[in-house]
Structure 1
Amino acid sequence: MPGANLACRVGGGSILYSTPMYTHIRRLPQEARAAVTEIPMKEDNLFYTMDFEALEQAVTPQTGVYVLCNPHNPFGRVFTRQELTEVADFAKKHDLFVVADEIHCELILEGEHIPYFSLNKEAEQNSITLCSAGKIANIPGLPLAYAIIPNPDLRKRFEEETLGLFPVRNILSETALTAAYNGSCDAWKEELRDYLRANRDYLEVRISEIPGLKAVHNQATYLVWIDTRETGITDPYAFFLEKARVHFNDGKTYGLDGFVRLNFGCPRSQLKETLDRVEQTLKQK
């Protein structure tokens, strides 16, 4: 996420984004030393969309950056071309710079990933897209990510901001990145997506059978956003950690109470044990 920090500095001004939102993006205002406005998304039967009316009301002359996460973390949505075009129109209307976090772009389980910068010339010239092989190839520990910056002036400013902040690329990271994208892993990637898709389907059925829990339908990533509000548990993260010994991610850190996030990028046996523990703990509640 250092790249997102620098991209926000390049964009300048205060930061605007829609919540719930990935926890590290929510730390960007502190890291980039910028003011922030968080706008809740609209939710209809656990289907989330950006609230452009609220965004219009929230934007000010000081707003400089809109941060987009697509595919979305934590609820796994793949935004449509129409939705992304609305973002681009909104950004153009208010002269906003868009920072697009697209790190999960190869983990599409249904639908199509559309890179933000590919929408039109305006989006291309007024955005920075951040990505990495860390998610699709499971190599987040190797320090090599990349920014897509078609605008040469923006690219120069970004490069100037990075001076002295990042280590020199090493041969291990470059070799891994090359292998992730040269086609040699394509069959493995497809097998991975198939496995994740099956895990998602299993997970969503299991959650639907546990009273008090609901899962947001996942279109991408290996993350599921679980609604626990009907259980009446005031702190689901602490409850499941203490009672079930299951370490979810706390929905509050993404900007929404009553939810937890689960990573289903794991063996099916581990996922089953997790859900068995959750179900049994709620029965004994």
Structure 2
Amino acid sequence: MTKEAFNERWNTNSMKWDMLEERYNNPDLWPMWVADMDFQAPQPVLEAMREVLDHGIFGYHVRPKSLYKAVQGWLSRRFSWEVNTDQMVFTPGVVPSISHLIQTFTEEGDGVIIQTPVYYPFFPLVRNHNRHLIQNPLVETESGYEINFTELESQMKEGARMIVLCSPHNPVGRVWTKAELEEVARLAEVYNVFVVSDEIHADLIFQGEHVPFVHAAKGYQVETATCLAPSKTFNIASLQLSYVVFENSSLQRRFENQLKTNFVGIDNPLASAACEAAYNEGEQWLEDLIAYLKGNIAYLKAQVAENMPEIKVFEPEGTYLVWMDFRGLGLYGEDLQTWLREEAGLALNDGHMFGEAGNGFARMNIACPRSHIEKGVQLLQHAYEQKAVK
């Protein structure tokens, strides 16, 4: 199978498909890295965007009230989360949102906690604003990862001002339980720590259920901001639309003032139309997607267990990203990267990108046609067998 079989993305300025030469110095790697999907967005989304295109005028645009209603309905149906439309602040992305939240609610030198291995932009988001980066490594167990609450309490007690919570967690795929989130909320109340909850993968759940952090925090006096977006769910990341939900109106005003200071917030009519259509008409598409992704995960896990037993797959409870442990092969750091590129011909996200706790690991994106997974497994198995021979 060649890349031409996936010509929907090849030579389309796709980061995943067309940046292999720039990123890995090899344009022929099989791309299973960037966290987007190799599937078209739902038809209602495409049709809504065509209507905007057909109108043909792209002057300054006011965000429609119907978009707020669509978001409100989605959160209510999917999470039993009743949000007033005036609690939402729209932004051009979750990462920029977190950046502005750090600037708004912490000062230079303040401690900001992240839970490694974790989504790699979290590191520069903290450091670039001259905040003190505090790593709270997750505890690896046979069945998955857990939060080290003893260390977390110690770090909060020492004066951390904020924690950026990844929920569901990228890259390890945990869907945090209500009890786990309640303990985070309890500690945050005791030590007056602001909780930024990145819930961009909230819709992509395979095991358990996604609990919005604000639900777990009920009964606790905790400052929170929840970051969400339709981008991962419906594969519309390049449209750059997200939103932050606040429970406290005074905190919300401070955040809005921060955005105004930086002239952030003009509406993109294509993004608004896409988001509204996705939330109003994309539910069945999402259910079908989740079923398909479960099949991809099951296939990958079974093939690796049967044919490559020294590689461990952490089955994700949520997200379409699979955390894989290559330490059983004795591969770490540069050696692992070289082996994946030169021997397997695969472009995966290097585990070290997610912090030192990711050394010896890699992240695989399974949001693609099954044939794409099969090709990736074939390449990995061939390299595995060649290594065993040597």
User: Any unmatched runs of 5+ in structure 2?
Assistant: 1-94
**Would the aligned equivalents of 2:189 and 2:222 in 1 still touch at CA under 8 Å?**
no
Match of 1:233 in 2: 331
**Would the aligned equivalents of 1:131 and 1:145 in 2 still touch at CA under 8 Å?**
yes
Match of 2:271 in 1: 173
Q: How far off its partner does 1:109 sit?
A: 1.0
User: Separation in 1 of the partners of 2:229 and 2:319?
Assistant: 14
**Would the aligned equivalents of 1:74 and 1:224 in 2 still touch at CA under 8 Å?**
yes
Q: How far off its partner does 1:46 sit?
A: 4.8
One of 95, 105, 112 as aligned partner of 2:192: 95
One of 331, 342, 348 as aligned partner of 1:242: 342
Deviations 1:228-274 (A, max 9, x none): 00101233223111222100101101112000000000010011100
One of 208, 211, 214 as aligned partner of 1:111: 208
Match of 1:251 in 2: 351
Match of 1:19 in 2: 116
Please tell me whether residue 143 in structure 1 is matched to residue 240 in structure 2: yes
Secondary structure of 1:40's counterpart equals: coil
Deviations 1:29-88 (A, max 9, x none): 123321111021111115100001111222355410011111110011100010000000
**Would the aligned equivalents of 1:5 and 1:31 in 2 still touch at CA under 8 Å?**
no
Higher relative contact order (CA 8 A, sep 6+): 2
Higher relative strand content = 1
Match of 1:76 in 2: 173
60-69 vs 248-257, which moves further: 60-69
Instruction: Map 1:6-45 onto structure 2 (within 5 A).
Output: 6-12=100-106, 13-45=110-142
Match of 1:271 in 2: 373
Match of 1:212 in 2: 310
Q: How far off its partner does 1:27 sit?
A: 2.0
Higher relative helix content = 2
Match of 1:130 in 2: 227
25-34 vs 63-72, which moves further: 25-34
165-174 vs 148-157, which moves further: 165-174
**Would the aligned equivalents of 1:16 and 1:36 in 2 still touch at CA under 8 Å?**
yes
**Would the aligned equivalents of 1:204 and 1:217 in 2 still touch at CA under 8 Å?**
yes
Please tell me whether residue 185 in structure 1 is matched to residue 282 in structure 2: yes
Secondary structure of 1:66's counterpart equals: strand
User: Separation in 1 of the partners of 2:293 and 2:100?
Assistant: 32
Kindly report structure 1 stretches of 4+ aligned residues shifted beyond 3 Å: 120-125
**Would the aligned equivalents of 1:75 and 1:216 in 2 still touch at CA under 8 Å?**
yes
User: Any unmatched runs of 5+ in structure 1?
Assistant: none
Secondary structure of 2:172's counterpart equals: coil
Q: How far off its partner does 1:280 sit?
A: 0.4
Larger Rg, first or second structure (1 or 2): 2
Code of the aligned partner of 2:274: A
User: Separation in 2 of the partners of 1:208 and 1:143?
Assistant: 38
User: How many residues matched?
Assistant: 284
User: Separation in 1 of the partners of 2:363 and 2:381?
Assistant: 16
Give the RMSD, CA atoms, in angstroms.
1.5
